[in-house]
Amino acid sequence: MKILVAVKRVVDFNVKVRVKADHSGVELASVKMALNPFCEIAVEEAVRLKEQGIATEVVVVSVGSNAAQEQLRTALALGADRAILVETADEVSSLVVAKALKAVADKEQPQLVILGKQAIDSDNNQTGQMLAALAGYAQGTFASKVEVAGDRLKVTREIDGGLQRIELSLPAVVTTDLRLNEPRYASLPNIMKAKKKPLEVLTPQALGFSTQSTVKTLKVEAPATRSAGIKVKTVAELVEKLKNEAKVI
Amino acid sequence: MAALVIAEHNNGALGAATLNTVAAALQITDQVAVLVAGRNVGAVAESATRIAGVSKVLVADDAAYAHLLAENLAALVAALGRDFSHVLAPATSHGKNYLPRVAALLDVDQISEIIEVIDTDTFKRPIYAGNAIATVQSSAAVKVISVRATGFDPVAADGGTATLEVISTAGDVGLSVFVDEQLSKSDRPELTAAKIVVSGGRGMQSSDNFGLLYELGDKLGAAVGASRAAVDAGYAPNDMQVGQTGKIVAPQLYIAVGISGAIQHLAGMKDSKVIVAINKDEEAPIFQVADYGLVGDLFDLVPQLQAAL
């Protein structure tokens, strides 16, 4: 089967972001960017399915600025076969990304599409579900285990009270949870080889979708800061404070 | 203008997050309907009619909705949603699963995990693991919104007198099949609704040592949570994880034991009213958000704390 994997370029998860002084967004200039951690897990799962002989080809796709080519190269170094960048300078919402991925899926006809469960910048947790809806595919979100059984997909999902197992017809969309796998590191020879793998650049115009969104961001602010606390010396002092000062026990 | 709230329920009882979601909906409009979809949901629907402020309860009783599978539920909600100005669901694992599918079927953007209603089309939501708060405005004909329960005080579960209406259903769209569920059994309060939460991190060193936290939790009537490090190390099950990618809690009292306080963990608990940190590393970032910090060995301090209560 052919697997399509969507990846996103985001601020590195270790960076403590700062809100811009004019409240238009967060400071992204000269901040370290990286592959979204959940997308790494998605690439890893696709590559493992290829190593097991289940997948024949792994295609990675990203929607965004030209700089996202860097993250596509990373995915190629991790084992993907070729890459597609849907290039747009516009700020894109999850629905727009889902429409871009739907257009790519129509072209590529994958049996399985794997995405991360959420991007750590917008924290939306929408794109996979939206793509599944637009394409009319089944969805297996927050997956911690995925097995291909003929033309069916067995997915174990992380839900609030524990785990849920479902079976989906293919083609399907899967979104990865943290515990699906442990992504590998790209080796230097693989990083070199990845430079020669094909990377196709498409535009929204060529794919026939609009980047218009029904949502606009009016303002971005820093969250309210907590006032500094105190250090207590003993357990007795802690219990006394909790009882009499904070009145929470 | 009217809002449709999708009820969260499980095994015949209404989920607590439904009440917070109704509270958010009532800040938008006083015309709030609740959809109860599932199999044999008579009792849940009955209790939904008593939620304060709800005017109508729609009941969709069909085997296709028994396990809230996204494919079937989203088709139902999208068909109903066209008659409403707002469709809201709690940002639980169920809500996060089906609601974006609803939004895409309606061809509108979704607004995820709102924490404040500014007006009928403007909302506040956290981004970047809660390190920034965005104010967003929607021009969509139907505004599809998931609600972070900890951002809204729940409405009363009693006192309402909504009418009940059974609606016709389309049934199974035939894309997915429920196999089974393995739910963690616990007598402790639910993590997201507990007044007190005791959480352990990598510093607990083993799953056996988590016993200390369960004992402390029982003494306080508290739920027990964990950091990602503790879950990944196998000390605690996944569904106990508090953080950006786990559960978001905002209890009266949060006690972090052996947790360093990574950004991703803080995103899940920094709206707690009072935070207590117990850690042997006095430089740990958790002390920057803790109201009361206690530096020392948790294996001495936690039993002492339990004895002192």
CA distance A101 to chain B (A): 13
Mean pLDDT, chain B, integer: 96
CB contact under 8 A, A165 and B181: yes
- Under DSSP, is residue A5 helix (H, G, I), strand (E, B) or coil? strand
| A187 contacts chain B (CB < 8 A) | no
Residue B10 pLDDT level (bands cut at 50, 70, 90)? confident
Residues 6+ away with beta carbon under 8 Å from B38: B9, B44, B60, B61, B65, B66, B68
pLDDT over 80 at B11, yes or no: no
- Percentage of chain B with pLDDT > 70? 100
> What is the DSSP code (8-state) at residue A139?
E
Query: How many beta-carbon contacts under 8 Å exist across A and B?
Result: 251
**B171-221: per-residue pLDDT in tens?**
899 999 999 999 988 889 999 999 999 999 999 999 999 999 999 999 999
Q: How high is the pLDDT of residue B205? A: 97
Interface of B with A in 37-96 (CB under 8 A): 67, 69-71, 74, 92-94, 96
**B82-137: per-residue pLDDT in tens?**
999 999 999 999 999 999 999 999 999 999 999 999 999 999 999 999 999 999 99
**B214-243: per-residue pLDDT in tens?**
999 999 999 999 999 999 999 999 999 999
pTM exceeding 0.90 = yes
In whole angstroms, give the CA distance from residue A179 to residue B246. Answer: 12
Query: Which residue of chain B comes nearest to A23, CA vs CA?
Result: B134
**Which ipTM was obtained for this model?**
0.96
Q: How high is the pLDDT of residue A249? A: 86
Q: Which element (helix H / strand E) includes B225?
A: strand B223-226
Q: How high is the pLDDT of residue B53? A: 97
pLDDT over 90 at B283, yes or no: yes
Average pLDDT of the segment spanning A136-164: 96
pLDDT over 90 at A218, yes or no: yes
C-alpha distances in angstroms, A51 versus A48, A56, A175, B26, B301?
5, 9, 20, 52, 49
| Residue found by looking up tokens 């995990």 in the block | B113
Give the nearest partner residue to A17 out of B113, B132, B304, using CB atoms: B132
What one-character-per-residue DSSP string does A163-209 give?
Answer: EEEEEEESSEEEEE-GGG--PPPPPHHHHHHHTTS-EEEE-HHHHT-
pLDDT over 90 at B300, yes or no: yes
| Residue found by looking up tokens 């230097």 in the block | A188
Are B242 and B226 spatial neighbours (Cβ–Cβ below 8 Å)? yes
Are B254 and B224 spatial neighbours (Cβ–Cβ below 8 Å)? no
Residue B170 pLDDT level (bands cut at 50, 70, 90)? confident
Strands (E), A20-95: 33-35, 57-64, 82-87
- Under DSSP, is residue B63 helix (H, G, I), strand (E, B) or coil? helix
- Under DSSP, is residue A11 helix (H, G, I), strand (E, B) or coil? strand
Q: How high is the pLDDT of residue A103? A: 98
Residue A2 pLDDT level (bands cut at 50, 70, 90)? very high
